Amino acid sequence: MKRKTIAVLMASIDREYQTDFIRGVMDTAEELNIDVCVFNCMGYMNVDVATSDRGESAVFDLAGARDFDGIISLRATLAGESSVRKVEKLLHRMAGLPHVSIDVPTNGAVSIQFDDAVSVRQVTEHVITRHGARNIVYLSGPLRQMVAMNRLQACRETMEAHGLTLAPENIFEGEWIQGSGRQCAEELLRRPGGLPDAILCGNDDMAFGVTDCLMEKGYQVPQDVIVTGYDALREAVARGLTTIRRPIDQAARIAVETLSGWMAGETPKEYDIVLPGVPIYGASCGCFHETERNSPSARHGMRGGHRRMESVLLMISMFSGSLVSVVNEEDAREKIDQFVQTMGIGELYLCVDPSVSRPGEVREGNDTYPNEMLLLYGFRDGERMPAGRFPLSRILPVLDEERERPVKLVFCPLYYRERNFGYVALRMGTATGVALYSVLMLFNGALMSLYLQNSLREYARKVEDMSVHDIMTGMLNRRGFQERYRQVLDRARREGSWFVLLSADMDHMKQINDRYGHLTGDQAIGRMGRAMEKLRKGGMEPVHISGDEFLAFGIRPTLAEAERVLSEAREAVRQLNEEEPWMEETSASFGLYTAVPTAKDTIDLFLTRADHAMYEEKKRKKAAARQAESGK
């Protein structure tokens, strides 16, 4: 029986909280023999500078291209409007599937929430009663998100219970990133009256921004101001930040176990699950509570982690030059292979829009994924996968394979501005941690180089094509004829076949130009071109030499077949006049010369004799016209 597959919709998997949650999901899913596909965008990057919200949100179009058996959504991690909108639409379309929503209550879904209010109240109460804080500032996450609002409200209510007021000017709205903490600290330092007693932050990253900025300005925490966070990141605990730990490992297990039973037909026993957070009091509020996490061994592990990350980032920088200078697909595969194996990535698939790397493949709507993708590079457990195309609905061919162990892949978008290059799917590991954004930028650089090289080749091809084709009719021009006829003539010599050259000259073109003007004359030439194009069915190549002069050349197996080209050309003109009636009937004089060419026979021989036959026909037509005129 095919494994069930869970889709996880989220942002910022490179952040510790999300990473820990997804690791918990994948570990539990492997125990329960369930495939997991994580669709991740960079939720809290500066979309004005570093990313495009539309480019990031494309990964959720990918999630909607395939059917899944269950969903886990982490909508509170999303930031960009486009991503939020696409995920909401996707969940609406998937309504009815087993769905576990983290942090955001959703109709029809099992909701797992963390009791932020209880733990935020405990920390707020702690800084008031234990440390005597009265003037308190609260740095919140985006207030459009319920989780941020709940934390702020818990802080406000606790202060009010102690007869304190959280003044509006003491509420700052951030974006869950360190930059927001720095902005808050700088604003407070500009205010008269000095720093507040405490700055309570909605998460650890913003608390890091606050403390780092204050320390750079010569202030001390907690001597000058108390700072607290939320999330209990490993770095936060090791630095002694007072924070709150969410039981994310427990939440991950509950989410997967719930979906496992639900997908098997078991109705969930409860749809609203609330897990309490646990305060961890540290040096940033004046407490020095020792925990297993901030022991010397934990701090040593933290330093080791930083050294490993420095090593990873160094390896990434070493490959940056080579990956942004790839010239073709094979070059890209070789250099990406070196990077993947050096980084120790166990499984990775680079899926691209074929028009990014393959000449002649141009498509409109480059801000979406095409119906067919190209696996440019694939690597799994030491083996490279063959490159090849696959329909977008499959997302990745490996998902259709029978594998001994469950699939555990993270999908991330690849793009530049509004140009969607494709996506990468990779197994959880070093490359999906803090280094993820740098890894994605490397792949984007490689694909941008491929795209530019391909565009240059395509441009050169178009210029070359324009130089040998006629703009008015689209068929070969005189130069194109000079470049192409040799190989056809040589082939006829080798095969002993009949080389055919048809000469055509339109009748009455001067009268059309004089009577209707040259624009109408150009239309007449275009009509003649359409008639000549009909000869392609018989293997003839039409040519617009200039003005009202045309040629056609090719090979026929027998003399009878070769001579039939003349009647085919006349029939093509007759059909044109019948099927596309016009103000003037299209007419032309034809001459044909055919022979099995010898080594001495040149193209000039065929041109001269075909032209002579054409002029003879034109003379006969004129003589017949004069005789008819005199007979009147």
Secondary structure of 331-398 in HEC code, one letter for each residue: HHHHHHHHHHHHHCCCEEEEEECHHHHCCCCCCCCCCCCCCEEEEEEEEECCEEECCEEEEHHHCCHH
Choice among 58-72, 89-103, 184-198, 449-463 with the minimum mean pLDDT? 449-463
What CATH number does the domain containing 593 carry? 3.30.70.270
165, 246, 252: which is closest to 204 by C-alpha? 246
Would you call 492 helix, strand, or coil by DSSP?
helix
CATH code, domain with 188 = 3.40.50.2300
Lowest-confidence pick of 286-290, 384-388, 621-625: 286-290
The verdict on 600 and 544 lying in the same domain is yes
Residue 317 confidence (pLDDT): 67
304 and 288 inside one domain: no
Question: Burial code of 600-625, b = ≥16 C-beta within 10 A, e = fewer?
Answer: eeebeebbebbbebbeebbeeeeeee
Exposure string over 211-248, b if 16+ CB within 10 A, otherwise e: bebbeeeeeebbeebbbbbbbbbbebbbbbbbbbbbeb
Contact assessment for residue 262 and residue 268, using Cβ atoms and an 8 Å cutoff: yes
Q: How confident is the model at residue 145 (pLDDT cuts 50, 70, 90)?
A: confident
| Whether 347 and 415 share a structural domain | yes
pLDDT band at 240 (very low <50, low <70, confident <90, very high): very high
**Res 362: pLDDT:** 63
Could you tell me the pLDDT band of residue 10, with boundaries at 50, 70 and 90? very high
Same domain, 374 and 450: yes
The predicted model gives 496-504 an average pLDDT of: 96
Least confident interval from 404-418, 461-475, 532-546: 461-475
Residue 215 shares a structural domain with residue 289: yes
The pLDDT value given to residue 419: 85
Residues 194 and 216 in one domain: yes
* Same domain membership, residue 442 and residue 321: yes
Task: State the pLDDT at residue 47.
Answer: 42
Q: Are strands 136-140 and 198-201 parallel, antiparallel or unpaired?
A: parallel
Helix (H), strand (E) at residue 540: none
Last residue of a domain, one of 230, 260, 294: 294
For residues 315 and 389, membership in a common domain is answered with yes
Distances 536 to 471, 549, 570 between C-alpha atoms, Å: 18, 18, 14
321, part of any domain = yes
Output the average pLDDT for the chain: 88
Co-location of 541 and 558 in the same domain: yes
Whether 508 and 425 map to the same domain: the answer is no
Residue 170's pLDDT is 96
Poorest-confidence range of 31-40, 386-395, 467-476?
A: 467-476
pLDDT digits (tens, 9 = 90+) for 79-117: 888 899 999 999 999 999 999 999 999 999 999 999 889
- Mean pLDDT value across residues 467-471: 84
Question: Which three-class secondary structure state does DSSP give residue 1?
Answer: coil
Q: In the predicted model, is pLDDT for residue 2 greater than 90?
A: no
What is the total count of domains within the chain? Answer: 3
256 in a domain, yes or no? no
Range of the domain at 230: 114-248+270-294
Question: Which two three-digit tokens encode residue 273?
Answer: 């699950």
Q: Which of 426, 457, 488 is the last residue of a domain?
A: 457
> Is 263 domain-assigned?
no
| Mean pLDDT to the nearest integer, 359-388 | 84
Is 278 among the domain residues? yes
Cβ partners under 8 Å of residue 273, min gap 6: 110, 111, 112, 113, 254
Taking CA atoms, 172 is separated from 148, 166, 185, in Å, by 11, 11, 10
Do 288 and 302 lie in one domain? The reply is no
Look at residue 464 and tell me if it is in a domain. no
Share of the chain above pLDDT 70, in %: 91
Q: Element (H or E) spanning 135, and its range?
A: none
**Please, which pLDDT band fits residue 296 given cuts at 50, 70 and 90?**
very low
- Specify the pLDDT at position 15: 86
278/320 same-domain check: no
Its sign, for the CA torsion 382, 386, 389, 394, is negative
Q: Indicate whether 279 pLDDT > 90.
A: yes
pLDDT band at 496 (very low <50, low <70, confident <90, very high): very high
Q: Pairing state of beta strands 99-102 and 498-506?
A: unpaired
- 110 pairs with which residues across the strands? 100
**471 part of a folded domain:** no
Whether 463 is in a domain gets the answer: no
Report the relative pairing of strands 419-427 and 408-416 from DSSP bridges. antiparallel
pLDDT value at position 91?
94
Lowest mean pLDDT among 288-292, 319-323, 363-367, 395-399: 288-292
pLDDT at 298 over 50: no
Is 253 among the domain residues?
A: no
Q: What confidence tier does 461 reach under pLDDT thresholds 50, 70, 90?
A: low
